[in-house]
């Protein structure tokens, strides 16, 4: 009996590790053609300026997909590499730019929020990792009010 309990515990532990690995796989990363890594040589770090790191998109109807966009500019003197963009939940998908952004150039991080089953006030984040001075992690936030589908009780 004791071995059966240990076996069940071990299987449960391995299954939870597999789920964690799957969740981590949802992070979208950009190719690192420049050879710069977020924890690598800080001499290759640059600066970034977000046009609006927090956005409000007003109201949408449940089931609608909302396209979100966050504009930025490389304000430094080295190429800007966005390594990853990780949404705060599975209802949002986003991708980093595929190529490094040259000094002085602008870019966008685009995402899609699926409001299906998400009625009410929604506050979502995109966590961005880049080769930026000071901090390599950035949080972009968007808010939206999701109304029930027409004909459903509010």
Query: Does some domain include residue 11?
Result: no
What total number of domains does the chain contain? 1
pLDDT in tens, 10-38: 444 444 333 333 333 344 444 443 444 55
Query: Does some domain include residue 53?
Result: yes
Query: Does some domain include residue 48?
Result: yes
21 backbone dihedrals φ, ψ, rounded to 5°: -65, -40
- Picking from 13-22, 58-67, 96-105, 111-120, which range would have the lowest pLDDT averaged per residue? 13-22
Query: Does some domain include residue 128?
Result: yes
Query: Does some domain include residue 84?
Result: yes
pTM: 0.73
Q: By residue range, what is the domain housing residue 87?
A: 30-147
- How far apart are alpha carbons 108 and 136 in whole angstroms? 17
CATH number of the domain where residue 96 is located: 2.60.40.10
- Picking from 27-41, 58-72, 97-111, 112-126, which range would have the lowest pLDDT averaged per residue? 27-41
Kindly state the tokens that stand for 67: 């396209």
pLDDT in tens, 46-95: 999 999 999 999 999 999 999 999 999 999 999 999 999 999 999 999 98
pLDDT of residue 13: 41
Query: Does some domain include residue 80?
Result: yes
Query: Does some domain include residue 18?
Result: no
pLDDT at 154 over 50: yes
Query: Does some domain include residue 4?
Result: no
Distance of CA 128 to the CA centre of its chain: 6
pLDDT band for position 152 (cuts 50, 70, 90) = low
Kindly state the tokens that stand for 130: 């880049």
User: Which of the pair, 123 or 21, is modelled with greater confidence?
Assistant: 123
């Amino acid at each position: 009996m004791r071995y059966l309990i240990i076996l069940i515990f071990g299987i449960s532990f391995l299954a939870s590790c597999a789920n964690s690995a799957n969740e981590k796989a949802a992070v979208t990363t950009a190719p690192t053609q420049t050879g710069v890594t977020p924890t690598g040589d800080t001499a290759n770090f640059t600066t970034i300026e977000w046009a609006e790191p927090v956005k409000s998109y007003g109201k949408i109807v449940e089931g609608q997909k909302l396209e979100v966009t966050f504009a930025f500019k490389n304000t430094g003197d080295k190429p800007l590499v966005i390594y990853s963009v990780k949404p705060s939940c599975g209802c949002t998908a986003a991708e980093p730019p595929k190529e490094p952004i040259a000094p002085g150039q602008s870019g966008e991080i685009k995402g899609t929020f699926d409001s299906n089953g998400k009625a009410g006030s929604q506050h979502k984040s995109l966590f961005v990792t880049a080769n930026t001075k000071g901090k390599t992690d950035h949080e972009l936030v968007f808010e939206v009010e999701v109304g029930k589908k027409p004909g459903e009780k509010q």
